[in-house]
Structure 1
Amino acid sequence: MMTGNTEVVVVGGGYAGVMAANRLTRRDDVTVTLINARPNFVERIRLHQLVGGSDDAVVDYREVLAEGVRLVVDTVTRIDAAERCVTLAGGDTVGYDYLVYAVGSGSADPRVPGAAEFAYPIASLEEAQRLRPVLDAAPATAAVTVVGAGPTGIETAAELAEQGRTVTLVCGGVLGPYLHPRGRRSVARRLAKLGVTVLDGPDTKVTAVTRDAVRLNGGRTVPSRVIIWTAGFGVPDLAARSGLSTDALGRLLTDETLTSVDDARIVAAGDSAAPSDLPLRMSCQAAMPLGARAADTVLARIAGEQPSTLNQVFAGQCISLGRRAGIFQFAHRYDVALWFHIDGRPGARLKEFVCRGIVKHLTDEAHKPGSYSLHRVSGGAKRRQLLQAKRGETLATR
């Protein structure tokens, strides 16, 4: 049990980082510093709306961050675990007793010839802002190609098509891989109604991108004035650069309490965490409970108590299909889609309710630290089964 004041640094001010920072203010003897590259909170789940012009996807930190949290607008370039400090791009260092690693995720390196040069990713605020004037400068009839048929790709294609844009969605495989076949058919019908050309199946993997076209492995060439890249996510390499253990993608390896396998003073949350090398689906649905769990782990250690282990539950996947329709794909609590979904206008209203609710969760935690409790809802026995199977494989290979 620690006595005196405890300094906690949270690296990253997204859904997980803000939730963790707010929750850590439960104790008066904890000083919380949030380090983030931007002065505003980004509603990442609204970036497709920024691209379409219906939202700026930004919230003032004063709305979502507890008053007791000190915000430092800078970028962490290195974590020195031995000295318990972080180095900032501006040259300063900040010491800590505990560190919450919540750097999130961004666009993955496309590794497709021409993609980095000619396609526009939209996984970050800056990327989405960069695309807006490009679309504004393109004629309304110009061909727009969206690569990637996960939620971001589907939402972006629908948003632009609803405005009258000529949109082709290149799936590189299945439309909405997470969706149940019934939900997938519903999304396909809505996209068809909006006039989106959906290219799916095994012959729709992108092999090259040029200034004015996308080439597919089936031999097809899709002429394009604007190419938007939404396929895949990557994570910052801060952990790896700092000498900490990571998974193959670069997420910080932790145990089931989200504590780094290298250092009990470092706890991870959100997209950049890989608990037991079995990371959860990258989403704000996972990030906020992980942020709360990470904070609870730190608070337990400060109190000299044993931290609780991860117990994540999922509800499904929520996708907007323009401003007038959407779909909520319900799922088993262990994150596999069910047959049941809500679509159409009710789906759009539910999606907006979820988006607003996420900000409300953060605001509520800022005003009343400890009030958030979704991370305590049981995700069932599935994760324990996966962990047992993984341990069995490890023993078998020794």
Structure 2
Amino acid sequence: MTENTDVIVVGGGYAGVMAANRLTRRDGVNVTLINPRPHFVERIRLHQLVTGSDDAVVDYQTILAGGVGLVVDTVTRIDAAERRVTLASGGSLDYDYLIYAVGSGSGVPNVPGAAEHAYRISTLEQTQRLQPVIDAAHASAALTVVGAGPTGLETASELAEQGRKVTLVCGEVLGPYLHPRARRAVAKRFAKLGVTVLEGPGATVTGVTGDAVQLADGREFPSDVTIWTAGFGVPDLAARSGLSTDALGRLLTDETLTSVDDARIIATGDSVSPSDLPVRMSCQSAMQLGPQAGETVLSRIAGKQPKNFSVGFFGECISLGRHAGIVQVARKDDTVSRAYYEGGRSMAMLKEGVCWSTVWQLRQEARHPGQLDLWFKDRRRRQVLGAKAGTTSADAGRMA
């Protein structure tokens, strides 16, 4: 009789759920998903939770395959030698294979006063703490959003559309991922919404107090509520468990998403750094990396060599409130093109469709694991890796 294989997936975000569902395509695989909360969080909707237009959660029962067990707990340590994880509740679970999918959050701001006085919104709990603060704030209260990436742009738009007084502090540039043509279109939309946009060399936050924000060029302006959306960080579980990580704390793997330390540990989503050359942290990449991490485990169970991972990007779809949006088109390798599309209700509906489709894909993978593969892949990664290896070798030669 063939023994069952126990696989633990640590983290129930987009990549973790896709990986767990993909594993159910093979009989004899016991899949356990460990997540700190009982509901799936639609992270790409958290800006909507700020204003109450969506609760940003989905019942796991609707997106997990029937054979996946859910444990609501937090993993505090991975013991690779014993193939065991320790839980915050005090228990432990053994595994044959582990998929590391702990995701990411906003980085802890090192700006004086920011940690104490600014609200972050990269997790459900952080956003839930902010929502009543926004509701209680006077209609004329000064709201500041720090960071001009997608989350910052979408949050500022949502608030301004409700008639709030919003200042967006960009740092160097508004929408750094966007092509300059698309950037101008976003600036025009913000002008229409009445958002004050601060950008340029001096528009970097150097201090936050309970009622003000200070900038690098010496300016200080009132801020009744400051929302911090700048930067990414990842949980330190891998480092605390003695596993190799990159400078940001993502688990180092080879191109099959397998840990450089242990062939029984596979990583996916925002918390993986393949060949120390990670792809952009995003739902878009997580939805692709999740199934491939599952396939790596299935290949190892079957005694086959896993395939190298491959992802492809289409760009970025950004809502600018409930009534407008913009699509920045990119090449498959995530380099931005000149093409973009802006519009009113139609673009807002397109972004809503993107959010809806991610949950639909999770459900499809649960019902028909392995049958869904909608992504066009980037074929240039091998060239980039080759160039990186050549540079490393040249540097090593010069150092010698």
Query: Shorter-normalised TM-score: what interval?
Result: over 0.9
Q: What letter is aligned with 2:253? A: T
- Corresponding residue number in structure 2 for 1:124: 123
SS at match of 2:70: strand
Pair 1:9 & 2:11 matched = no
SS at match of 1:257: coil
TM-score, normalising length: structure 1 = 0.98
SS at match of 2:171: coil
Cα deviation 1:200-232 (Å, max 9, x = unaligned)? 111101000011011000111121000000000
> Could you tell me the percent identity over the aligned residues?
70
SS at match of 1:311: coil
Q: Tell which deviates more after alignment, 12-21 or 179-188.
A: 179-188
1:372 CA drift (Å): 2.2
Q: What letter is aligned with 1:368? A: H
Q: Distance in 1 between matches of 2:388 and 2:58?
A: 40
Cα deviation 1:288-324 (Å, max 9, x = unaligned)? 1110110010011111111110211000011110000
Is the 1:144–1:165 contact (alpha carbons within 8 Å) kept by the matching residues of 2? yes
- Corresponding residue number in structure 1 for 2:29: 30
- Corresponding residue number in structure 2 for 1:350: 350
SS at match of 2:140: coil
1:378 CA drift (Å): 2.3
Q: Which runs of 5+ in 2 are unaligned?
A: none
Q: Distance in 2 between matches of 1:276 and 1:92?
A: 33
Q: What letter is aligned with 1:348? A: A
Tell me how many residue pairs correspond in the alignment: 395
SS at match of 1:171: strand
Q: Distance in 2 between matches of 1:387 and 1:374?
A: 25
- Corresponding residue number in structure 1 for 2:214: 215
Q: What letter is aligned with 1:251? A: R
Q: What letter is aligned with 1:134? A: V
Cα deviation 1:359-388 (Å, max 9, x = unaligned)? 00000000111122145x32122x112101
Q: Distance in 1 between matches of 2:114 and 2:131?
A: 18
Q: Distance in 1 between matches of 2:265 and 2:239?
A: 14
Q: How does 1:85-124 map to 2 (within 5 A)?
A: 85-124=84-123
Q: Distance in 1 between matches of 2:318 and 2:121?
A: 16
Q: What letter is aligned with 2:369? A: P
Q: What letter is aligned with 1:379? A: D
SS at match of 1:231: coil
1:397 CA drift (Å): 2.8
Q: Distance in 1 between matches of 2:151 and 2:195?
A: 15
Q: Tell which deviates more after alignment, 36-45 or 217-226.
A: 217-226
Pair 1:292 & 2:291 matched = yes
Q: How does 1:144-293 map to 2 (within 5 A)?
A: 144-293=143-292
Pair 1:392 & 2:381 matched = no
Q: What letter is aligned with 2:386? A: Q
Is the 2:313–2:377 contact (alpha carbons within 8 Å) kept by the matching residues of 1? no
Is the 1:292–1:372 contact (alpha carbons within 8 Å) kept by the matching residues of 2? no
Q: Tell which deviates more after alignment, 386-395 or 19-28.
A: 386-395
Cα deviation 1:335-360 (Å, max 9, x = unaligned)? 01111112122221111110000000
Q: Distance in 2 between matches of 1:172 and 1:78?
A: 37
SS at match of 1:348: helix
CA RMSD of the aligned region, Å? 1.0
Q: Distance in 1 between matches of 2:91 and 2:374?
A: 36
Q: Distance in 2 between matches of 1:371 and 1:355?
A: 21
Q: Distance in 2 between matches of 1:369 and 1:301?
A: 18
Q: Distance in 1 between matches of 2:271 and 2:291?
A: 15
Q: What letter is aligned with 2:250? A: R
Q: Tell which deviates more after alignment, 2-11 or 147-156.
A: 2-11
Cα deviation 1:55-110 (Å, max 9, x = unaligned)? 00000001111111000000000000000010000011111010000000012010
Is the 1:161–1:167 contact (alpha carbons within 8 Å) kept by the matching residues of 2? yes
Is the 2:118–2:208 contact (alpha carbons within 8 Å) kept by the matching residues of 1? yes
- Corresponding residue number in structure 1 for 2:133: 134
Give the 4+ runs in structure 1 shifted more than 6 A: none
- Corresponding residue number in structure 1 for 2:78: 79
Q: Distance in 1 between matches of 2:111 and 2:368?
A: 47
Q: What letter is aligned with 2:134? A: L
Cα deviation 1:16-48 (Å, max 9, x = unaligned)? 000000010001110000000000000000000
- Corresponding residue number in structure 1 for 2:334: 335
Q: Distance in 2 between matches of 1:188 and 1:372?
A: 37
1:3 CA drift (Å): 4.4
Q: Distance in 2 between matches of 1:109 and 1:344?
A: 35
- Corresponding residue number in structure 1 for 2:46: 47
Q: Tell which deviates more after alignment, 384-393 or 229-238.
A: 384-393
Q: Distance in 1 between matches of 2:192 and 2:62?
A: 38
1:190 CA drift (Å): 0.7
Q: What letter is aligned with 1:275? A: P
Q: What letter is aligned with 2:390? A: G
Pair 1:367 & 2:360 matched = no
Is the 2:147–2:168 contact (alpha carbons within 8 Å) kept by the matching residues of 1? yes
Q: Distance in 2 between matches of 1:34 and 1:133?
A: 31
Q: Distance in 2 between matches of 1:232 and 1:107?
A: 6
Pair 1:143 & 2:142 matched = yes
